[in-house]
């Protein structure tokens, strides 16, 4: 039975997950350089070992308002296929409120997101996993990377 691993994390009060194969690394460089005039969902730029990464505010994308820095804030840096998105060598990651566990689930446990994702933007979700205590929503990385132009109205 095929299994998949997910990195889980918290944004606001919700549990999310992202396929571990999409994750390059997790770190806590939170002193990003903001970019004036950029889209609101862009939190800023950080330098990781001489390469510049763009940090997205996933919380904002999901329609939960702007992220606030806390000691728990972490960045999940994504592995992207350089050519697949926006045609460039895009190095990108997003900020989350808190990192959770890494979970391993059978593929069969993955379900389509419920029809009534009310206060978060369902566009960025691909699936959900039922965990004993909570439901983790799996983030659709492709949708995050291609970001909808319009800010989300929820």
Partner 1 sequence: MMNASFDDESLIQEFITESQEHLSDIEPDLLELEAQAPSVDQEIVNKIFRAIHSIKGAAGFFGFERLKNLSHVMESVLMRIRDKQLTPESYIVEPLLVGVDLLRDMVEDIQNSETVDCDALVPELDHYLKESTKYERGKLAGKGKASKATATQATATPETTATSTTNNAEGLPFTVADGVLQQYKNQGQSFFKLSISAEKHLFASHRTFNQFVDLLKSCGSFLGSNVTVEEADAPPEEIIALIGTVLEQDLLAGAFDVPAETITPYDSNVQANSASVVEKVTTGKAKIEVAAVASAAVTTPATPEKKEATPAPAIAGAKAAGSADAAVETIRVRVDLLNKLMDFAGELVLSRNQLIRATSQENAEQDKEGFNRIVQSIDTVTSYLQEHIMQTRMQPIEAVFRKFPRVVRDLAGQLGKKINLEMIGQDVELDKTILESLSDPLTHMIRNCCDHGIETPEVRQANGKVPQGTIVLHAYHEGGQINLSIKDNGNGIDTARVGKKAISSGVITQAEFDAMTHQERLNLIFHAGLSTAEKLSDVSGRGVGMDVVRSNIERLGGHIHLESTLGQGSTITLQLPLTLAIIPSLVVGLQHHRFAIPQVNLLELVRIKANEIHQEIERCGRASVFRLRGKLLPLVKLADVLQLDKLYIDPSSGNAKTDRRASIEDARFQDPVAIEQIPEIKRTAPISDYNILVLRVGANQYGLIVDEVFDTEEIVVKPLSSYIKNCKCFSGTTIMGDGKVAMICDVGGIVTQGKLNFGEIEAEEARRKDVEAKRQEMASLSTSKTNHGERQAVILFSNHPEERFALPLSSLLRLEKIEIKKIEVVGSREFINYRGESLPLIRLEDHLSVRPSPSDAEIAYMIVPKHGGGKAGIYATNILDTIETNVVLDSHLVADSQVIGSAIIQDHLTLFLNTEVLLESAGIWLEEEVDADTESYILAHNHHA
Which residue, 57, 46, 62, 143, is CA-closest to 95? Answer: 57
The region of 2-10, 46-54, 59-67, 129-137 touching partner 1 under the rule CB under 8 A is: 46-54
Whole-angstrom CA distances from 134 to 2, 54, 141 are 22, 30, 21
Q: Where are the beta strands (DSSP E) in the chain?
A: 3-11, 14-19, 23-27, 42-48, 51-57, 74-78, 92-96, 98-106, 110-111, 125-130, 135-139
* CA–CA gap between residue 120 and residue 115 (Å, rounded): 12
Q: Which is nearer to partner 1, 17 or 93 (CB)?
A: 93
Q: Tell whether residue 87 is a contact of partner 1 (CB under 8 A).
A: yes
Kindly tell me which residue out of 2, 13, 36, 118 binds partner 1, with binding defined by CB under 8 A: 36
Q: Tell whether residue 44 is a contact of partner 1 (CB under 8 A).
A: yes
Kindly tell me which residue out of 7, 15, 18, 56 binds partner 1, with binding defined by CB under 8 A: 56
Name every residue whose Cβ is closer than 8 Å to that of residue 111 and which is 6 or more positions away in sequence: 127, 128, 129, 130
Q: How far is the CB of 82 from partner 1 (least distance, A)?
A: 11
Q: Tell whether residue 30 is a contact of partner 1 (CB under 8 A).
A: no
Q: How far is the CB of 50 from partner 1 (least distance, A)?
A: 7
Kindly tell me which residue out of 7, 11, 15, 32 binds partner 1, with binding defined by CB under 8 A: 32
Residue ranges binding partner 1 (CB under 8 A): 31-39, 42, 44-47, 50-54, 56, 85-92, 147
């Amino acid at each position: 039975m095929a299994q998949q691993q997910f990195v889980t994390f918290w944004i606001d009060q919700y549990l999310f997950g992202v396929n571990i194969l999409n994750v390059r690394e997790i770190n806590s460089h939170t002193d990003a350089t903001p970019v004036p005039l950029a889209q609101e969902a862009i939190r800023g730029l950080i330098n990781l070992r001489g390469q510049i990464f763009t940090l997205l505010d996933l919380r904002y994308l999901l329609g939960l308002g702007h992220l606030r820095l806390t000691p728990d804030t972490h960045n999940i840096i994504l592995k992207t296929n350089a050519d697949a998105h926006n045609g460039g060598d895009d190095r990108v990651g997003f900020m989350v409120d808190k990192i959770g566990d890494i979970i391993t689930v059978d593929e069969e446990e993955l379900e389509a997101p419920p029809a009534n994702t009310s206060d978060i933007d369902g566009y960025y979700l691909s699936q959900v996993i039922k965990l004993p205590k909570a439901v983790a929503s799996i983030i659709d990385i492709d949708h995050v990377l291609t970001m909808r132009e319009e800010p989300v109205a929820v």
